[in-house]
Amino acid sequence: MKWVCLLLIISNFSFDLLSSVESKQPIAAGDIISAKNDSNDSKTILLNISSGSLYEGVFIRTDSFYGTIKKIMPEHTRKGQATIEVETASQNISPAHFEAFSTLNILNISLLAELILTFLIFYLNFKHQSKWWSRITLIAIFLASLIWIARNIFVGNLYTYSSVYNGSITILIIFFALVFFYQQLKRPDNPFVYASPVFWIISAILIYKAGTFFLFLYGNTLEQSEKENFFIINSFFYIVENVLFAVAFLIRSKKLSPKKIDR
Amino acid sequence: MQLLQTNSSNVSFLLFFGTLGMLVLTIALILFIIFHQRKVIRYQLKMQEMEAEQQKLLLKASIKLQEEERQRIAADLHDDAGPLLATARLYLTENLVNQEKAQQLQSIYNAKQIIDETIQLIRNISHSLMPPTLKNFGLESAITDFFQKINGSGSLNSNSRFYDYRTRLKPEKELIVYRIVQELTNNVLKHSNASFIHLTQHNNEDEMIIRLHHDGRGLTQEDFDKLNKSNVGLGLKNIKSRLKVIQGDILFEQDPSQSFFKVSIEVPKDDDEK
């Protein structure tokens, strides 16, 4: 169990590192041909794409402006050219060289790794307690992975973020955590639940997932400036999760004598 | 524009309070589990302590009963067998050889009579320790014999019926069951003022059930449990400790018509007793 948790920590950390590297590598580049003001924070831009591909949700910038692609209009898209709607705070957009950046591909891959490892933790825990729940966890790993593959490879692509899919996975993880706690309440053989590393590992996962549930569900609808403010929540819960993981690693799994309890 | 700003502020509001709510709920859940488990442990500890206290009481009762039994045997030997043997000794003094033959014969006859009486007395003491009927013929005969003796006294109507006792229990188990029945019957005789006492035996696959009915004043399970936890009710504690040895159970009931009381003893059977 601790090994899977360690893998989860390493995977999270590696994907964070990879994400910071990837954020400096443009996924597409080209030139802005013309721009039209739709409203104060929305512009329609005609682009000439010289390398890569553009996707909705991708960050785009030139020397004088930056914004997020809200919509790609297929009816106005020709070979090597694209018309996009951009959400931006910049007022004047002049023809210039642009670059597009996105780390959503890393985020999506990291979510797959995270869901497999998290469900594996639940499976390893349920394996000794309930055959029924361990089977359900295995089915959940299989189905969630299958949906991920279908959504990111066959139907969509790695550069799109689905809050519905990620929200559902989070609800499933929270549900399994609640099942774990319910089983702990029912089990009389291990009264000191907090003396076991599993308790801290599952608590860490539960706190992180519950804390960032609304953030990942509604984060996409926030404005760019607010997004940065609210992502502090993610950093905070990420730290809490890792602190609790550290507690799990520091705790020695032992059954304490009931007499040691403070009466 | 205003609509967009309102939507954005709504999302921020939902995000902030939603996250806060989830955090509070999660922490509350984890704390609840920790405190609930501590509560369960405290309860288990209390139960263990109560059980230990009960064991102590049972042990005390058992030791006390053993001491009383020893005292009774000592008193029987000292007060009855002692004087009898001393009297026999008086008849058989050295002076006997100097006496006339008729007187000698009379003294020897008297001494023989006293020694016979002593033998009978010691046999009675021995039988009270281990009834020979139980040892030789089993629980059914011993209980039937015991109930016939009570019936013979004429104080109350008593009978017993064994429906299926083809395979005997182990001797030590039979003795324990016999002692329990003896103790319960003695209690009925002493305290209940009953006009009848009736014992039946039934066999289940895994256990033997003995039921004792009487129409006097009796105990309910609640009374039995209460007496077991108190310092009185030595005999009942002894029943409980004997049952513990054979892992049996006892149930005191009053029938719905409230006209008689029923005591059921459940004796689990080993594989070779089935």
> A82 CA to chain B: closest CA distance, Å?
26
Share of chain A above pLDDT 70, in %: 90
> B54 CA to chain A: closest CA distance, Å?
20
Q: To 10 degrees, the CA torsion angle through A129, A131, A135, A141?
A: 20
The mean per-residue pLDDT over the stretch B245-260 comes to: 88
Residues of chain A contacting residue B23, judged by C-beta atoms under 8 Å apart: 207, 210-211
Residues of chain B contacting residue A188, judged by C-beta atoms under 8 Å apart: 40, 44
- Block residue for tokens 């990837």: A22
Element counts in chain A: helices (H) and strands (E): 6, 6
Show me where the domains of chain A are located: 2-20+104-258, 25-101
Interface of B with A in 7-66 (CB under 8 A): 7-8, 11-12, 14-15, 18-19, 22-23, 25-27, 29-30, 33-34, 36-38, 40-42, 44-45
Partners of residue B161 on adjacent β-strands: B200
In chain B, ranges of CATH 3.30.565.10 domains: 130-273
Q: What is the pLDDT of chain B when averaged over all its residues?
A: 86
Residue A261 has pLDDT above 50, yes or no: no
Sheet with B261-268, side-by-side order of all strands: B157-162, B196-203, B207-214, B261-268, B249-254
Q: What is the pLDDT of residue A207?
A: 93
Residue B3 has pLDDT above 50, yes or no: no
Interface of A with B in 86-115 (CB under 8 A): none
Q: What is the pLDDT of residue A90?
A: 72
> A214 CA to chain B: closest CA distance, Å?
5
Residue A151 has pLDDT above 80, yes or no: yes
Residue B187 has pLDDT above 70, yes or no: yes
* CATH assignment, A25-101: 2.40.30.10
Its CATH architecture, for the domain B130-273, is 2-Layer Sandwich (3.30)
pLDDT tens digit sequence for A219-254: 777 766 677 777 788 889 989 999 999 988 888 755
Lowest-confidence pick of A61-75, B27-41, B133-147, B170-184: A61-75
| Angstrom distances, CA of residue A162 to CA of A217, B9, B58, B81, B153 | 9, 22, 69, 101, 93
Where is pLDDT greater, at A54 or B8?
Answer: A54
Residue A59 has pLDDT above 50, yes or no: yes
- Chosen from A39, A200, A218, A228 to mutate, greatest number of chain B CBs within 10 A: A218
Instruction: ipTM value, please give it.
Output: 0.76
Lowest-confidence pick of A12-21, A146-155, A249-258: A249-258
Give the closest of B23, B33, B44 to A211, CB-based.
Answer: B23
The two structure tokens encoding residue A39: 């409203």
Give the closest of B19, B34, B37 to A211, CB-based.
Answer: B19
Between CA B62 and CA B130, with CA B142 as vertex, the angle to 5 degrees is: 45
Is A261 within 8 Å of B12 when comparing Cβ atoms?
A: no
The mean per-residue pLDDT over the stretch A54-82 comes to: 77
Where is pLDDT greater, at A243 or B241?
Answer: A243
pLDDT tens digit sequence for A167-205: 889 999 999 999 988 888 877 556 677 788 888 899 999
Q: What is the pLDDT of residue A188?
A: 57
Phi and psi torsions of B231, nearest 5°: -90, -10
Give the closest of A213, A223, A258 to B22, CB-based.
Answer: A213
Confidence of residue B202 (pLDDT cuts 50, 70, 90): very high
* Range list of β-strands (E), A40-126: 42-52, 59-61, 66-73, 81-88, 97-101
The mean per-residue pLDDT over the stretch B117-136 comes to: 85
Q: What is the pLDDT of residue B211?
A: 94
- Chosen from A85, A187, A193, A236 to mutate, greatest number of chain B CBs within 10 A: A193
Confidence of residue A260 (pLDDT cuts 50, 70, 90): very low
Residue B267 has pLDDT above 90, yes or no: yes
> A174 CA to chain B: closest CA distance, Å?
10
Confidence of residue A263 (pLDDT cuts 50, 70, 90): very low
pLDDT tens digit sequence for B142-179: 999 999 988 888 878 999 999 988 888 888 889 899 99
> A66 CA to chain B: closest CA distance, Å?
20
Closest B-chain CA to A182: B33
The mean per-residue pLDDT over the stretch A131-141 comes to: 90
3-state secondary structure of B7: helix
Element counts in chain B: helices (H) and strands (E): 8, 5
